[in-house]
Amino acid sequence: MKCQAVIFDLDGVICFTDEYHYRAWKALAGKLNVPFDRTVNNRLRGVSRMASLEIVLEKYSGPALSQEDKEALAAEKNAIYRESLREMSPADLSEEVKSTLDELRRRGYLLAIGSSSKNTPFILRQIGLEGYFDAVSDGNNITRSKPDPEVFLKAAEFVGREPAACLVVEDAVSGAEAGHAAGMKVACVGDAAEKKAGDYNLKSFGELLDIL
């Protein structure tokens, strides 16, 4: 089936909030005396906030943590992260990403977001893309995070297209797995492209114009 809709992950694809996630987790891990580096960080890509915390805590050896303690830690990480998001502006949307999106729209594709993040509406507002996409499926409308396909299946439903008519764009291996589990083709950038997790592994976002 011909591709009719493109579903974009947000963090690490549309904008570089993935670096802010890294710094916020690094700060929290430092406080907990847990080793944390970019290899661990790459495992957090696409994964929900609470599931990410469990990964960060794999090497934690301090006093036992209750569910309440964990929720407080996740909230603490999110507060640090939100401070970085407050500084974002439309200048944080690259010219390459914006012109590629505009060209895909001109070619008639439906454009949607499929992100695990509960901060998606805030980020889209900060970078000037509020109201730009035909549909937004994010951490606020799902119960299972990537690699589960739910977020992408919802995005396809929101734009009224069959999964087989959708292409997912991802920087996370968990996200590429989610796209495949949804029955969609996947184009990867960044970390997931380096790991060849996609049907297409791109060197840049703009290369989408060569495959669509």
Three-state SS sequence of 155-210: HHHHHCCCHHHEEEEECCHHHHHHHHHCCCEEEECHHHHHCCCCCEECCCHHHHHH
Binders in 135-154 for ligand BG6, by CB under 6 A: 139
- Nearer to ligand BG6 (CB atom), residue 47 or residue 176: 47
Contact partners, residue 48, CB within 8 Å, separation at least 6: 116, 139, 145
Distance between CA atoms of residues 20 and 26, nearest Å = 10
Contact partners, residue 43, CB within 8 Å, separation at least 6: 55
What residue number has its CB nearest to Mg ion?
A: 12
- Nearer to ligand BG6 (CB atom), residue 163 or residue 175: 175
Binders in 10-29 for Mg ion, by CB under 5 A: 11-12
Stretch that binds ligand BG6, among 46-54, 65-73, 89-97, 191-199 (CB under 6 A): 46-54
Q: Which residues are catalytic?
A: 9, 11
Contacts with Mg ion, residue ranges (CB under 5 A): 9, 11-12, 171-172
Contacts with ligand BG6, residue ranges (CB under 6 A): 10-11, 21, 44-49, 52, 78, 115-119, 139, 172
